[in-house]
Amino acid sequence: MGNAKKPLLNMKKIFIGFISLVILSLFSCDKEEYPERPISELEIWNCYSQSVWDNNKINNELIGKWQWVYSINYWNPDKGWNTENENTMIEFFNDSTLNLIVNNEIINTAKWTIAIKDVQLYGLVLDVSISQLYGRIIICEDILEFNNSYIDGSDNYFIKIK
């Protein structure tokens, strides 16, 4: 009878060891962290709507350096986060040029102007294609959104850094 308990005891130890290993592996997984939207869609629209915007005001607000912080793709909202732009900056200059900077290296330059994009909303007209800058310009303090989801594109958010 003593020998009959031994295999049962060994199976119990193996089972407990297996369960412990599964639990340990679940807690030690390296989960990819996604950036968070800096402001809700409703908040940025409400904030933007509190000001009167024109070409000159938008132009003046854009001048400076902006750090990419978030993108969302409305074709796949649960997996729409974009981390490939995490080291991307846009620098707008008074002479209507801009630099696209990735990993502190200028990878593209463009000439830009402001134009009506959709009814009373403005967007950029560029002499080269820069996908992060597609869409309507929505500004709230130091947050800039290029809102392109209204035509099933991605929305890109930037924070002004200087």
Tell me the C-alpha distance between 138 and 114, whole Å.
Answer: 13
* Pair 66, 162: CB distance under 8 Å: no
DSSP strand pairing (143-147 vs 136-140): antiparallel
Q: Which tokens hold the place of 51?
A: 């000001």
pLDDT (0 to 100) of residue 78: 59
SS3 content of the chain, % helix, strand, coil (to 5): 30, 35, 30
- Residue 113 CA to its chain's centroid (Å): 24
Q: Largest Cα–Cα distance of the chain, in whole Å?
A: 92
pTM for the whole structure: 0.75
Please give the single-letter amino acid code of residue 20.
S
pLDDT digits (tens, 9 = 90+) for 102-157: 999 999 999 999 999 888 899 999 999 998 999 999 999 999 999 988 787 889 99
Q: What's phi and psi for 71, nearest 5 deg?
A: -140, 150
Cα angle 42-156-36, degrees, rounded to a multiple of 5: 65
- Residue 27 CA to its chain's centroid (Å): 27
Exposure of 51 by Cβ count < 10 A (0-12 exposed, 13-18 middle, 19+ buried)?
exposed
pLDDT band at 37 (very low <50, low <70, confident <90, very high): confident
Domains of the chain listed by start with CATH number: 41-160 (2.40.128)
pLDDT over 70 (residue 42)? yes
pLDDT over 80 (residue 80)? no
